[in-house]
């Protein structure tokens, strides 16, 4: 069904599942509260009513159970699209994800493929109490065998979820929960760029700002604010962490000569660190300045009243731009490191 409408990201995800279920009766949606309630964020709203209890259903409260059950159903010919209610509540399922979802194709030399999708609302910025704002993407990105996808726009939410459901490989589909209510006028159904393709959301000439998921809005805000300081910022939206689009990112950094990666997850050993290492290695000879990261602190996610100190802000990104060695000014942050105390 084609509609042109002002749609929220949650509605676009809902439409993607509806269209996918329409197109293929093997697609089933299950998890906690996805049935009658329609999901705590209303992303599965109306699916149970339209397709019945066999296609969209609630499960007992057990995340390992949900994922393990999905593995079995996928082997049995279904295409499960399961929901973990929140990022931190997916952890009980991690063994199933790491040991089985990620490895089954490999262990069986392709005999048992798992075309399943694990949808997880993630990241913060919603004023949520603890365990509701985790950025857990690094755990999945670091587990070979999982595709890790994270839309940042309404159109991508629809398109990437459709593609995830069609993909023969398991996909961890990370939905930036703070963007659930962002609106856009889109014509659905829509197909945007496929997996493995990052997109330049804002062209620029001086610095490449790489972002994904919940950080795209703050990256765009920072790019707009930086005009005042004389920076022309190019913003790249990764869209899929695995598979990673080296080409687009590298082409951009080779043009600009400078790169800042923004990610709200704790910086140490985060996805931002992988991106920075890849850029440094591939673009070394084009770099005017070190590749920088603007990330969350290495602390457990703070209580709601303090989260804004932790999350990458426009100010913090602009401060990173100040370190990009314009006008032959070296970045001095770490020069004193290692000298006599």
Partner 1 sequence: MIEFRLPDLGEGLTEAEILDWRVSVGDVVGVDQIVVEVETAKAAVEVPIPFAGTVARLHGEPRSVIAVGQPLISVTTPDEAAGSGNVLVGYGPGAAPSRRRRVARALHPAPPAGESPGVPRVLSPLVRRLAATHAIDIRALKPTGPGDVILRRDVEAAIAEGADDFERIPLQGLRRAIADKLSRSRREIPDATTWVDVDATALVQLKNDLAESCPEAGIGFLALLARICVAGLRRYPELNARVDLDRAEIVRFPHVHLGYAAQTDRGLVVPVIHDAHRLTLADLAGQLRARTEEARQGKLSPRHLTGGTFTLNNYGVFGVDGSTPIINHPEAALLGVGRIIDRPWAVDGEIRLRKITQLSLTFDHRVCDGAAAGGFLRYVADRVERPQTLIAHL
Partner 2 sequence: MADRKHDDGWAGLLPSASPVRFLTDSGTPVRGRPAYREPAPELLRAAYRAMVLGRRFDTQATALTKQGRLAVYPSSHGQEACQVGAVLALDESDWLFPTYRESVALVTRGIDPVEILALLRGDAHCGYDPRRHHVAPQCTPLATQTLHAAGLAYAERRTGSGRIALAFAGDGATSEGDFHEALNFAAVFKAPVVFLVQNNGYAISVPLSRQSTAPALAYKGIGYGVRAEQVDGNDPVAVLAVLAEAAAHARAGNGPFLLEAHTYRMAAHTNADDATRYRSDAEVDRWRRRDPIARLEAYLRRRGQLTDEDVAAVAAEAEEYAARLRAAINTDPELAPLGLFDHVFGAPTPQLREQHALLRAELQAEEVPA
Is 183 among the residues that bind partner 2 (CB under 8 A)?
A: no
C-alpha 15: how far from chain center = 19
| Cα separation, 26 vs 130, whole angstroms | 36
Range 123-142, binding partner 2 (CB under 8 A): 127-132
Is 58 among the residues that bind partner 2 (CB under 8 A)?
A: yes
Which range of residues in 8-16, 135-143, 194-202, 305-313 is near partner 2 by CB under 8 A? 305-313
Is 243 among the residues that bind partner 2 (CB under 8 A)?
A: no
| Cα separation, 222 vs 260, whole angstroms | 11
Which range of residues in 37-45, 234-242, 253-261, 323-331 is near partner 2 by CB under 8 A? 37-45
Q: Is 145 helix (H, G, I), strand (E, B) or coil?
A: coil
What are the structure tokens assigned to 246, written together?
């080296």
Q: Which of 123, 121, 116, 174 is nearest to 145 (CA)?
A: 116
Residue 99 binding partner per list partner 2, partner 1, none, with a CB distance cut-off of 5 to 8 Å that depends on partner kind:
none
Range 246-275, binding partner 2 (CB under 8 A): 268
Q: Which of 262, 264, 261, 260 is nearest to 296 (CA)?
A: 264
Smallest gap from Cβ 308 to partner 1, in A, equals 7
CA distances from 89 to 63, 195, 302 (A): 7, 26, 17
Q: Which is nearer to partner 2, 62 or 277 (CB)?
A: 62
**Exactly one of 5, 23, 24, 36 binds partner 2 (CB under 8 A); which one?**
36
Q: Is 203 helix (H, G, I), strand (E, B) or coil?
A: coil
CA distances from 277 to 123, 209, 250 (A): 23, 15, 12
Catalytic residue among 132, 285, 288, 310: 132
Active-site residue flag, 308 = no
Backbone angles phi, psi at 134, to 5 degrees: -70, 145
Residue 325 binding partner per list partner 1, partner 2, none, with a CB distance cut-off of 5 to 8 Å that depends on partner kind:
partner 1
Which residues would be at the binding site for partner 2 (CB under 8 A)? 32-33, 35-38, 40, 58-65, 88-89, 91-92, 127-132, 268, 297-300, 302-306, 309-310, 315-316, 319
Q: Which residues are catalytic?
A: 132
């Amino acid at each position: 069904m084609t509609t042109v409408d002002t749609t929220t990201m949650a509605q676009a995800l809902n439409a993607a599942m509806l269209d996918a279920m329409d197109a293929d009766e093997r697609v089933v949606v299950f998890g906690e509260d996805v049935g009658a309630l329609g999901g705590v964020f209303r992303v599965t709203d109306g699916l149970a009513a339209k397709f019945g209890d066999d296609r969209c259903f609630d499960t007992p409260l057990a995340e390992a159970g949900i994922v393990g059950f999905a593995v079995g159903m996928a082997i049995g010919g279904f295409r499960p699209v399961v929901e973990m209610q929140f990022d931190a509540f997916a952890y009980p399922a991690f063994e199933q994800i790491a040991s089985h979802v990620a490895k089954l194709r490999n262990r069986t030399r392709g005999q048992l493929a798992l075309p399943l999708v694990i949808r997880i609302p993630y990241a913060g910025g919603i004023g949520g109490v603890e365990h509701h704002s985790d950025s857990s993407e690094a755990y999945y990105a670091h587990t070979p065998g999982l595709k890790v996808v994270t839309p940042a726009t309404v159109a991508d939410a629809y398109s990437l979820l459709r593609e995830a459901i069609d993909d023969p490989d398991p996909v961890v589909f990370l939905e930036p929960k703070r963007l659930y209510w962002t609106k856009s006028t889109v014509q659905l159904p829509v197909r945007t760029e496929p997996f493995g393709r990052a997109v330049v959301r804002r062209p620029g000439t001086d610095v490449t700002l790489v972002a994904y998921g919940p950080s795209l809005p703050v990256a765009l805000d920072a790019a707009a604010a930086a005009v005042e300081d004389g920076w022309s910022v190019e913003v790249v939206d990764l869209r899929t962490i695995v598979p990673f689009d080296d080409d687009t990112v590298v082409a951009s950094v080779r043009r600009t000569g400078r790169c800042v990666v923004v990610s709200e997850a704790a910086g140490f050993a985060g996805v931002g660190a992988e991106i920075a290492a890849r850029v440094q290695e591939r673009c070394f000879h084009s770099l005017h300045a070190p590749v920088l990261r603007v990330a969350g602190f290495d602390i457990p996610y703070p209580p709601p009243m303090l989260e804004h100190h932790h999350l990458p802000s426009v100010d913090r990104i602009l401060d990173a731009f100040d370190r990009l060695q314009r006008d032959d000014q070296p970045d001095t942050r770490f020069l004193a490191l290692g000298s006599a105390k």
